[in-house]
């Protein structure tokens, strides 16, 4: 594989994936297609603006004509689809953008890929890969006694966001079985790490704590998530892209089930050592009304990925959290531009 098209590459996970590919020189050419919504930050990849192996395409995943042109003109070998609206609270406030990007956008990308492959020779069709990045939220919610999600867990999405991702997963599967598109799907647990937009739990808590602001906790903080460092997630995606069996789904987890309260307590402890100004940071914790339909527990069984592709997470939860806090402390300017919206004003030429 020489050329890869990545959709949604300015976002949190997509930009980390591109960093990994660029640093490892995995592909000769990386094409990053991104609509540049609020979560798409060009500064995430500013190091590569003038790199000959990196091309940015400002376009919408729903623009099938643009997608077909990019695939054909660049003779693309692989597509990895990160493009998604992903914040549950926003999906509750307004579901339609989630359906447009996550469902219609995935459909357009599949259709463009089908058109592209129809013009390729058989050997190119066989070597091509389409990897769709999804979430464990499509499986619904677990009780404390339930076994972890795995690839055969029935779908039971509980939010507009997870429902839109479930629909996209089904489309990807259908295009493989109906049209022979060489697809792979990954379903991951909760990610954390560098470049995450601060509406998500961990960066929000870090940035609030740095300013002595309250640390809002939904309900009683007992909701459980399996936390996966984004660099581990990216290495899992690459393993599936390179060696996964076509048509298969692979679950990627961090082996780190923690309650939201445990996550926040860990952050407070780390920050007490590194930034003593507002210590003890635990005094900033506040409880707020729970999110509607808040899933109680997510957990991932990644034994298929480990058994078939010899993948496992390299970050422990404690090391990953310390690494993440250090990144946000070392990138205050990035944080300031994101929290104030300055990065968007710069893109639009405003001050």
24 vs 198, residue with greater confidence = 24
pLDDT value at residue 347: 46
Mean pLDDT of 24-29: 96
Question: What confidence tens digit (pLDDT) does each residue in 66-80 have?
Answer: 999 999 999 999 999
Please confirm, yes or no, whether 136 is among the known catalytic residues.
yes
Q: Catalytic pick from 34, 43, 60, 137?
A: 137
Per the rule left: phi > 0, alpha: psi between -120 and 50, beta: everything else, 61 is alpha
- d(CA 351, CA 349) in angstroms, rounded, equals 7
Mean confidence (pLDDT) of the chain: 94
pLDDT value at residue 348: 40
Local confidence band at 342 (pLDDT 50, 70, 90 cut-offs): low
Question: What confidence tens digit (pLDDT) does each residue in 30-78 have?
Answer: 999 999 988 789 999 999 999 999 999 999 999 999 999 999 999 999 9
Checking if the pLDDT of 341 tops 80, the result is no
Low-confidence winner among 1-15, 221-235, 290-304, 337-351 (lowest mean pLDDT): 337-351
Please confirm, yes or no, whether 137 is among the known catalytic residues.
yes
Checking if the pLDDT of 344 tops 70, the result is no
Checking if the pLDDT of 279 tops 80, the result is yes
pLDDT value at residue 197: 87
Provide, rounded to the nearest whole percent, the portion of the chain with pLDDT above 70: 97
pLDDT value at residue 350: 37
Please confirm, yes or no, whether 278 is among the known catalytic residues.
no
Q: Catalytic pick from 48, 54, 139, 161?
A: 161
Give the domain 3-192+229-255+293-316 fold. Rossmann fold (3.40.50)
- d(CA 259, CA 113) in angstroms, rounded, equals 40
| Residue ranges per structural domain of the chain | 3-192+229-255+293-316
What's the CA angle centered on 211, arms 209 and 217, to 5 degrees? 35
Mean pLDDT of 177-200: 95
Q: Catalytic pick from 34, 43, 60, 136?
A: 136
pLDDT value at residue 351: 33
Checking if the pLDDT of 293 tops 90, the result is no
């Amino acid at each position: 594989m020489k050329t890869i098209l990545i959709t949604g590459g300015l976002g949190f996970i997509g930009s980390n994936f591109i960093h990994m590919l660029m640093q490892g020189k995995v592909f000769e050419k990386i094409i990053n297609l991104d609509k540049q919504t609020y979560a798409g930050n060009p500064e995430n990849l500013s190091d590569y603006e003038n790199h000959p192996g990196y091309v940015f395409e400002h376009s919408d995943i729903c623009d099938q004509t643009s997608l077909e042109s990019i695939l054909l003109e660049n003779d693309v070998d692989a597509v990895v689809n990160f493009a998604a609206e992903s914040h549950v609270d926003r999906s509750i406030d307004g579901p339609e953008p989630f359906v447009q990007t996550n469902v219609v956008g995935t459909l357009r990308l599949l259709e463009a890929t089908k058109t592209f492959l129809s013009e390729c020779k058989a050997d190119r069709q066989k070597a091509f890969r389409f990897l769709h990045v999804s979430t464990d939220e499509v499986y619904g919610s677990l009780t404390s006694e339930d076994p972890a999600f795995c690839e055969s867990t029935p779908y039971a999405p509980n939010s507009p966001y997870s429902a839109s991702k479930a629909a996209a997963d089904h489309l990807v599967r259908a295009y493989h079985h109906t049209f022979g598109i060489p697809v792979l799907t990954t379903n991951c647990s909760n990610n954390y790490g560098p470049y995450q937009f601060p509406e998500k739990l961990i960066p929000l808590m870090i940035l609030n704590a740095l300013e002595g602001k309250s640390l809002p906790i939904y309900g009683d903080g007992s909701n459980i998530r399996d936390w996966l460092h984004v660099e581990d997630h990216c290495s899992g995606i690459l393993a599936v892209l390179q060696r996964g069996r076509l048509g298969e789904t692979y679950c990627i987890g961090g082996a780190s089930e923690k309650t939201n309260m445990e996550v926040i307590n860990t952050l407070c402890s780390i920050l007490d050592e590194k930034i003593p100004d507002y210590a003890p940071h635990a005094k900033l914790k506040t409880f707020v009304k729970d999110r509607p339909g808040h899933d109680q527990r997510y957990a991932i069984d990644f034994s298929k990925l480990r058994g078939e592709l010899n993948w496992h997470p390299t970050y422990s939860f404690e090391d990953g959290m310390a690494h993440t806090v250090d990144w946000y402390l070392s990138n205050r300017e990035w944080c300031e531009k994101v929290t104030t919206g300055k990065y968007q004003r710069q893109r639009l030429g405003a001050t």
